Structure 1
Amino acid sequence: MEQVDLLGSEGKDASKVSEFYEALLDGRFDDDDDAADYFFDADRNHSSYQKLKSRTKSTLLNHVFFLNENNSDFSNRQRAYFRCYRYWAASKILWGLYGRQIGSNIAEKVLKQAKFFDFSDIVMDVAKNLRITYGTREGNQKRFDEYNQLYKKYHQINYYEDLAEEYYTELSMGLVKEKGIDRERHLKAKAYYAELEEVMQKYDAYRLHLSGNLIRIIAHTSVNDYENTIRICEEAITFFEKKKYAAHLPLQVFYYQLIVCHTQLKQYNAGKKAAEKCLDLLEEGSFNWFKYQELYFILSTHTQNYQQAYRVFLNTVNHRQYDKLPANMKEIWNIFEAFLQALYHLEKVKEEDGNDHLSKFRYGRFINATPHLNRDKRGMNIPILVAQILTLIIHRKYTRAIERIEAIEKYCSRYLTKDDTYRSNCFIKMLLQIPANNFHRVAVERKTAKYLKKLRSVPLDMAKQTHEIEIIPYEELWTMVISSLDTSFRSGKSRKERSFAGRKSRAASS
């Protein structure tokens, strides 16, 4: 056999490939020109450098077939997925090299695994090839009929699985940018599920039930029907838990939706139970583990379990993998910290275990701690703005709060004018009335009464907004803020007012 190029192989070229690979891992090169200059004293277009790149890519591709699927991080279904595709590729290559008998033996072993783990596309492809082998090569009628029937069955299953994925993908595309009540999406999802319902009862195929149930969920979440969404999630979880293999992905998906629903309905105990079950499915410190911590935090704040939210925060930011998260994910926890420090100063949270994140919180540092999410003007910039105003009010930064009024009013008029930001628009206007009325509780309550009425007219579970926007439900946050005010007038002047007063004073003395 010819030698297969792998990292660590002998030879001058192989050594250079290994060196290139290690340098890429270490981040030693800024770009192709930098790498080409190091190896060949040339630019990126030099033929020798292009050959090195090509051979490195080919070598790394060879390593894909030596993947250790027994890695403990993989579920049994993931391990079977890698094994089936590698052996199926080997079988087809052997058929092409006239090793048809051994290729067929391998294919039949792949088929057994693929059927058990619901890899219907592999079953269909293997059955199609085996019916040709037994029909044209061996003339075995019994085996031909067996694989022909199997092919037809799985061809139909694949058709409906692909159709379900197509429908779910189509419905999901709009959800990336627009969330909230959507009657048109609701009706379309209902129609798509009606088309799939009968075949879902006929076949227990993995992809069919994953996409089919997600379509059912969209039909209900698009009209904020959380009760029925919970029912569907529980049915889907029961279905996948009955599988003889570990169906981690769909279980994570449906538990996630379940927690969102319990959060919206303020069902803390049920939400906590779902969160804990799902966290058992996740590798601690993984990307998805951190995403679930975000949801667990929101669940805790929405159900007034503020001390638990603080513990989730500590568990997350003190994790050894936290610093490796993408910047935008860490910024979310910076926002959470700002709300926690507000709760701390409102005496709703106590620091624990010697941690002093909240007592040492600095407003100026927070202002510069969310550069990526600041750009999301109709999304996560809203809680950033709320946290900023809230901090200034709680810390009695009267002058700075007044200085922010004009800029924030312009922001509201520009970005918070649609239905999906209605509650945020009302609440921010309420907060702005605090410095505008000199922090006097009675005056503030009088001036904000109309906005509070508007806010209550669109409850959180009916609002056209994503669940991430309100870190703490506005009604509850408003009650806490109002209780922190007193009946004394607090004067504060903006820089413009102070400058005008200074000029007036100097003019009077001259």
Structure 2
Amino acid sequence: MIKELTELVTLVEQVLPNHEALLALFSKNNRDVLKLFHVVQGNSFRTEAEAIDKAKVGERTKFRQVAKDLLRCLEQMVLMIDFDKQVLDELNHARIRGYQWMATAKSLAPLACKNGAKRAAEALLKIGQQYARPEFVVEASKVLMEYASVASDDPGDFELYLSMYQEHSRWRLLEERILIELNRITLPYIKKRALQCENAALALRCVNEFEPFVEQIPSHAFHIAFYSLKSKMFMMEAQYQEAAKTHKEAIQYFIARPYPCNAALNIFYYLEIANCVYLGQYQRGRDCFQKALDVALVGSVNWFNTLELGFYLRMHEQDWVGAAEVYAMATKHKRFNVLHDAKREIWHILGAYLYIMQKLTGADIPEGMVPKVKSSKFRNETKDFSHDKMGMNIAILAAEVLLDFVEEKDEELWDRIAALEKYRERYLRNNEDTHRSQLFIKIMSILSKYNYDRNKFLEKAEPYLAEMRTAPLQLSNQAHELEIVPYEKLVLAIAGQIRQRWGQLRETPAWLRANVPNAGSTPVLVAT
């Protein structure tokens, strides 16, 4: 119930300027309900026990009753109150208003209020036609057909609404079918943080089937789903330039609509951030990141997803302070604790890499912006992905090794690297889609094999790094999350840390100069 309360409290304070007066009305000035509202408003709770302790409205039984009363009041407020257009964009405002008109029309018709039902259905029909929502046109047409059959003076009205119903029912069915296919393809990514190779063929089939209806069918949701499927089709094949063309096409389509399409634009700016990460186009990625944030509702799932990709962008361009700012923005928001457990766990993994890179590079990041992560606790705090043998679990295992390294736990480190090598042999060896991860694990094995011998580490790592530079950053069965920091940059950071610990230097090898900032005529010294 804590998650539901947090969501609704955040929503009503965002969209209802007079929410406190309305809550007092609906709760009949119940002091405990009002007190709990303000406590939830000003805090971020992960458990019921935390909320009980802070709210002080009674022990568990009493607290739960007060929480139920507050939840009921909030639900009534959301259902009955019009939304502030300054908070929600025009499209979402119309969508919510449409659902309200739909509920009104369907409720009044069986209560013999046929004229009231007709008025609500006409308003619903207008919204459906104006904002490309076939669902609204279908439901409005059904109510208006019923009215025309018993009360209309014009016999042609029934045929008009029947024609609308039949046409938009086809569009609605197409919309629902493509949304189901998109969900089918998206599901493995949500669960395992990896797009599945076998879904590339499904995406291609869907694109070929639905493409004839692009810019023909009056459905906003259809076009979001179509362009998303087309994007995933190219992303799964690592065809990032083609994906970029799809994102541009989608953005142009939604910008050209006669109504604002903030949520849709956020989706495709978001996807283009990933492309920029893969292609190393960081400045364009920053532009897309800012545009995606500008059109996202703060605290929404899309907003958190955008921040997640923004974090990767900052990490890949080695902007550690910028990454810390994005991390703090996400994890300190009051709605962070109502995210799905797996989403929060991903942020914990991201925070671990931020901590690792701060330790490896000595980056000067303001106090309190980087989480303190302990190797001894890290695995227990990332349980959701522990069975994901080729997805986020690779990032977790690598983080465990790196945490032992920065904590200088040498005995644990050698054991951890040995386990990582066995993991590679067992789960990754015959899988081409994990090629870069396998190369990184081999490099880490060199570190343990030669027991911190600087010369041997860099010398033996050279061929693997050279091979890594020729491999795509992102392969078809992996998601960008798997390389939170590019492996090449991790290796360089490790080499720098070895230099600091043992102090023996030599000039940067030629094969490394291209990867070291300012490696020009002035020799740059690294660990050897």
Which bin holds the TM-score, normalised by the shorter protein? 0.7 to 0.9
Q: Counterpart of 1:443 in structure 2: which amino acid?
A: K
SS at match of 1:224: coil
TM-score relative to the length of structure 2: 0.73
Q: 1:407 to 1:145 in 2, by over 3 A?
A: closer
- Which of residues 172, 177, 184 is equivalent to 1:163? 177
Corresponding residue to 2:314 among 300, 313, 317: 300
Aligned-residue CA RMSD (Å): 4.2
Contact 2:207–2:226 under 8 Å retained in 1: yes
In the TM superposition, residue 112 of structure 1 has moved relative to its aligned partner by 1.4
Q: Do the aligned partners of residues 253 and 399 (structure 1) sit closer, same or farther apart at CA in structure 2, a change above 3 Å counting?
A: same
SS of residue in 2 equivalent to 1:282:
coil
Question: Mapping of 1:54-203 within 5 angstroms?
Answer: 65-70=79-84, 72-138=86-152, 140-177=154-191, 184-203=198-217
Following superposition of structure 1 onto structure 2, how do residues 188-227 of structure 1 map, counting pairs within 5 Å? 188-227=202-241
Q: Write the mapping of 1:39-50 to structure 2, written as runs, cut at 5 A.
A: none
Output aligned runs, 1:302-451, within 5 Å. Answer: 302-316=316-330, 329=343, 331-347=345-361, 350-352=363-365, 354-355=366-367, 365-369=374-378, 371-377=380-386, 378=389, 379-393=391-405, 397-417=409-429, 418-449=431-462, 451=464
SS in 2 for 1:468: helix
Distance across 2 between alignment mates of 1:268 and 1:137: 63
Q: 1:253 aligns with which of 267, 278, 285?
A: 267
The structural deviation recorded for 1:120 is 1.4
Verify the 8 A CA contact 2:428 2:434 in the aligned structure 1: yes
Q: Cα–Cα, structure 1 residues 240 and 156, in superposed 2: closer, same or farther, change >3 Å?
A: same
Q: Which runs of 5+ in 1 are unaligned?
A: 1-5, 491-510
Question: Cα 1:452–1:192, aligned 2, differ >3 Å: closer, same or farther?
Answer: same
Question: In 2, distance between residues paired with 1:56 and 1:316?
Answer: 27
1:38-93 C-alpha deviation (Å, 9 max, x unpaired): 68xxxx9xxxx9xx999999887655542442375433222222322222322333
Q: Distance in 1 between matches of 2:433 and 2:94?
A: 44
**Against the structure 1 CA distance between its residues 242 and 143, is the aligned structure 2 distance closer, same or farther, given a 3 Å change threshold?**
same
Instruction: List aligned pairs for 1:491-510, cutoff 5 A.
Output: none
What is the alpha-carbon distance in structure 1 between the residues aligned to residue 110 and residue 342 of structure 2?
A: 49
Output aligned runs, 1:12-51, within 5 Å. Answer: 27=48
Change over 3 Å in CA distance of 1:154–1:217 after alignment to 2: same
The one-letter amino acid of 2:221's match is R
| Unmatched runs of 5 consecutive residues or more in structure 2 | 1-21, 41-47, 53-57, 504-528
- Amino acid of the structure 2 residue aligned with 1:385: L
Structure 2 CA distance for partners of 1:221 and 1:306, relative to 1, 3 Å: same
CA distance in 1, matches of 2:330, 2:60: 43
Q: Report the Cα offset of residue 366 of structure 1.
A: 4.9
Change (3 A) 1:99 1:198: same
Task: Indicate how the Cα distance of structure 1 residues 115 and 472 shifts in structure 2: closer, same or farther if over 3 A, else same.
Answer: same
| Structure 2 CA distance for partners of 1:388 and 1:102, relative to 1, 3 Å | closer
Q: Is the 8 A contact 2:197 2:476 kept in 1?
A: no
Is the counterpart of residue 464 in structure 1 residue 477 in structure 2?
yes
Aligned mates of 2:120, 2:203 — CA distance in 1: 41
Structure-1 separation of matches of 2:173 and 2:265: 24
| C-alpha distance 383-191 of structure 1, shift in aligned 2 (>3 A) | closer
Q: How many Å apart are 1:473 and its aligned residue?
A: 0.8
CA distance in 1, matches of 2:344, 2:229: 31
> In structure 2, do the counterparts of structure 1 residues 472 and 367 end up closer, same or farther at CA, with 3 Å as the change threshold?
same
Residue 201 of structure 1 aligns to a residue whose secondary structure is coil
Contact 1:88 1:110 in 2 (8 A): yes
The structure with the largest alpha-carbon Rg is 1
1:499 matched residue in structure 2: none
TM-score for both structures, normalised by structure 1: 0.75
How far is the alpha carbon of 1:303 from its aligned partner?
3.1
Q: Report deviation, 1:294.
A: 2.0
In structure 2, do the counterparts of structure 1 residues 302 and 141 end up closer, same or farther at CA, with 3 Å as the change threshold? Answer: same
User: SS of 1:371's equivalent?
Assistant: helix
2-side partners of 1:407 and 1:295: how far apart? 30
Q: Is the 8 A contact 1:127 1:148 kept in 2?
A: yes
How many Å separate the matches in 1 of 2:67 and 2:412?
Answer: 56
Aligned equivalent of 2:251: 237
Which deviates further from its counterpart, 171-180 or 104-113?
Answer: 171-180
Give SS of 1:109's match: helix
Say whether the 8 Å CA contact 1:180–1:224 is kept in structure 2.
no
Q: Is the 8 A contact 1:189 1:218 kept in 2?
A: yes
Shift of residue 333 of structure 1?
A: 4.5
Distance 1:357 1:304, change over 3 A: closer
- Specify the code of the residue in structure 2 equivalent to 1:401: L
Q: Specify which structure has the bigger relative contact order, considering alpha-carbon pairs within 8 angstroms and separated by 6 or more residues.
A: 2
Residues 440, 488 of structure 1: 8 Å contact kept: no
Q: For residues 317 and 91 of structure 1, what CA distance do their matches in structure 2 show?
A: 42
Question: In percent, how many aligned pairs have the same letter?
Answer: 24
Q: Is the 8 A contact 2:234 2:243 kept in 1?
A: yes
- The answer to whether structure 1 residue 474 and structure 2 residue 467 are counterparts is no
